[in-house]
Amino acid sequence: MDTRRLHLLLELSRLGSMRAVAETHRLTTSTVSQQIAALAKETGAQLIEPTGRRVRLTPAGRRLADHAVTILAAVDAARLDLDPHAEPVGTLRVGGFATGIRVSLLPVVAELAQTHTQVDVVISEYEPVEAFALLADDELDLALTYDYNLAPASPGAALEAVPLWSTPWGLGVPAPAADEDADVAAYADSPWIVNSRNTADEDAVRTLASLAGFTPRIAHQIDSLDLVEDLITAGYGVGLLPADRPTRSEVTVLPLADPKVVLTAYAVTRRGRSTWPPLRLVLDRLAAQRTELPTRSATGGESGVLA
């Protein structure tokens, strides 16, 4: 079975049309069609069927596309594992959320600048959904992502995630406030602040509110934790904040219990790629770290983005 044809079938299942697959791989639509037909002959199964002026995968085609994820990952792993003891050399493309980059990645990059000068790390900031898509498209080698226990992420079958660290989050409200577990229901009439680039904390907020018996009014969408604090201080709403991150005196972070809200950071890669020496080098160092979440600087500078 030709793995190139398997890859085209997998792309057809993802992109939905022969033309899109052809454009992505700089082929003609006819070539893609011929390759899928050849794959059907190899497998002895009908893989596609017409639907209007387009085609769609048959049940057999969908099953083979599912198998293709594992097969292609195994082929990648075999190719990259031919010389697992090779010296790490090359450019590693990393994307992730700001706190994860700051806490987990930058110490590793600083170390590699001294110990492995032939490994070049290129860093971009992305929210998890963006990073998952870029990994799937092979535009990133490593993503640093996060989710909440109340809003678990779904990276997809082609990706694998390794947890790095976890930290509790609480409810940020205007000070003064009693230093006790938050009564979420008491803020049913308050405007709520969530992230503008990822739905994870909004999902967590909606779950908390549902358990407390109300639907939250989402009023503001903000990335920066400092700006979230500005809005809370000005009385424009309440929102989730890291429990262990020092805040200004005008903001109180109330503990959440029953349920707790816990953010977990992950290192995410494409299946079969983790044996590539530069990636393996960074993954091993990330796993060995004992990380601490950043705190506000003495100048009051921003310490992270709303994860």
pLDDT of 173 reads 95
pLDDT of 294 reads 47
CA distance 16 to 170: 42
Q: Is 16 left (phi over 0), alpha (psi -120 to 50) or beta?
A: left
Residues of the chain with pLDDT under 70: 79-85, 179, 290-307
CA distance 93 to 290: 23
Beta carbons of 264 and 187 less than 8 angstroms apart: no
CA distance 71 to 77: 10
- Mean per-residue pLDDT over the chain, rounded: 88
CA distance 217 to 109: 41
pLDDT of 219 reads 96
Q: Prior bond to 176 cis, omega within 30?
A: yes
- CB count within 10 Å of CB 203 equals 17
Beta carbons of 18 and 55 less than 8 angstroms apart: yes
pLDDT of 108 reads 96
Structure tokens belonging to residue 16: 């939905």
Q: Which segments of 26-58 does DSSP mark as H helices, in order?
A: 29-43
CA distance 163 to 143: 12
For residue 194, the cross-strand partners are: 221
- CB count within 10 Å of CB 257 equals 12
pLDDT of 290 reads 59
CA distance 196 to 259: 24
DSSP single-letter state for residue 224 = B
Among candidate residues 140, 139, 172, 141, the one with its CA nearest the CA of residue 240: 172
pLDDT of 301 reads 33
Q: What is the bridge-based pairing of β-strands 48-51 and 191-194?
A: unpaired
Structure tokens belonging to residue 299: 């100048």
Beta carbons of 2 and 42 less than 8 angstroms apart: yes
CA distance 189 to 215: 9
3-state secondary structure of 255: coil
Structure tokens belonging to residue 181: 């577990």
pLDDT of 80 reads 64
3-state secondary structure of 151: strand
